[in-house]
Structure 1
């Protein structure tokens, strides 16, 4: 499942979304069951996701259908774990008037543009009918335009994973409270070159979030556009710090060179698990991998540290995101779809043993125990430091992006690449980012 660290939306097919709008418009009117439908009739829900069936979803379907005999699940997925491509398929299905019921969405960046097209059913009335309050049930607040268009599935808390062997070799302790400057010092201390090969202390991936790391760790206004959706957030000191730390890490030669990451199309999991990098900022979805996988075993122990701070006195913030379970606006089985979405985001995510749930009713330690026990080598996952991070990180306000977020990120990444690859100076980079993004915002007002 994807998460806050999902790829930039710059590749989103805007034309496909516009085509979808023609088909989806007015989709929220189909609340009633088709005439003649019996309460005893078996309903089949089409569940669209990007995950492969053998990634635990086959078990999920059996569990759900065993307790809900009148609802069957038709699993629809390319199975390639590419969330952005899966969403493009959803857009095409909507444009073609294909039946859909439940759609898994990889975060608010993908949710908001489609809300503007009436793709998803508001769930407020369904929760009121059930007698539950969203804020009492879930940790991740997904309210958009004062409505809830989805329920959070897996919750991703952003943290730092560190190779314990490399940490000890450098004579360092597991951090419990640190700044970005201290993070860079750790990266330098763990960088090592032998026989012409460098093991870097840190790895930054290509996604837009890795270019705005310090900004992401604020309590509010964590996006490239401020929360009021009227002003570019580029001149925020935390964004400047984000760019500075990327430049500094390249100067220190303590992080895998950005040009190398791009040209070789490197992936963060093997870079860490193969010990080509000692440390990685990532999301808690990585827990299923750090104990090793069938293809990439882990031959070392991973310890966990909190997300670094901008200033020492700042609170310990753990940026969060979530996969989102939505109901398609033109679904013919919305009540049944809601039943499935609620079950998936509560009961299933506490029993599946792969990811952290957003549901407040889950026992966090039991969930962590189950996740660790399901890894290839549980002894290589340090439970103590993990629970410390999860129990002590403050949850910030989740960023609700503008509906034209792909265009914002495209501008941001283009200028970031000029900074990192073409030696454009920092002041010029920030000036260009700010002016271009603000013009885009003003044009959309």
Structure 2
């Protein structure tokens, strides 16, 4: 066995910040030259229009702009409480341009209410954020003030605590990596994150949480978490400077264990070097526990290394387009006698894609073991908006070779379910 401290010193860094599950399967974020963040109605109208245009053109599931404005307004009023209740209005029956104008007028009315501390921009961005949360589990809007901090922290050297944070059911959940500072401090997998340094995480973005949890080596960050049985606890975690490859290996007498932590660009090179030690006919165990996924292309190529050309890996379904069936297209590189894949509730996205593909493959002879996986089977695209802020939109659905999606349901471990990974195969 490998000691957990040794593991961590070898692999527990991800760009000095959190591993973000819901940012997986994004296309690279498109950027535009952002204009100064004005607070006048014309600037805010332009920002809102940019968001609604992108959603209606690119989202996997879309709806008329008038409904978008109605949902955004309702979400904002819910946040503001009774003081804004009289401003709630159904705009869904109006034509889009009229609904947009009325939406802006209502925001201006709220902004001018005596005692209202939020500016027109802040109200608009909170409304957009509220809409995105209603749209689906992965679409989100990063407010311009948060994005500034994210970009600033991205330019500085910081340290991490070694923890994935995943967003699900309108909450954030912690998945510490084995041997990490977060695990050593007492953070448990599946605990709900309530606050960071005393500041509630509700209404924030994953990108923002990544930025605020980072910090100078040796400093502490205070994480308030809620246990699965309901009790809340504040845990202080010391940040560390961490370095990591994407995989870790362990060789045993008759088997070989490959631990995959994220589908990064470096993974394929590291995995091939490690798997070269696996002799044909031996058993390979791939540990995906706590793996939140990563780059879609990397996950596809990784799965293909164990499959024959022509075997299906996944189908990508997008709105208004024919299904795209992606199959292995290169000669099979590795031929173990069998592949056992370990999974848990922190196994998500790209890791789930690989598990489903190898279980379905007749040549890979894959099997999975553990507990039900996380359940993220969608793709996203991101864009830095001209008017400030960042929009991340769900653009497609992933369908396993078994003909079902694992999104929201997760994958069952096949060894404990007579070969099934879906409730109804």
Q: Which has the higher strand share?
A: 2
Q: Shorter-normalised TM-score: what interval?
A: under 0.3
Q: Which has the higher helix share?
A: 1
Normalising to structure 1: TM-score of the pair? 0.26
- Determine which structure has greater relative contact order: mean sequence separation of CA pairs < 8 Å that are 6+ residues apart, divided by chain length: 1
Normalising to structure 2: TM-score of the pair? 0.27
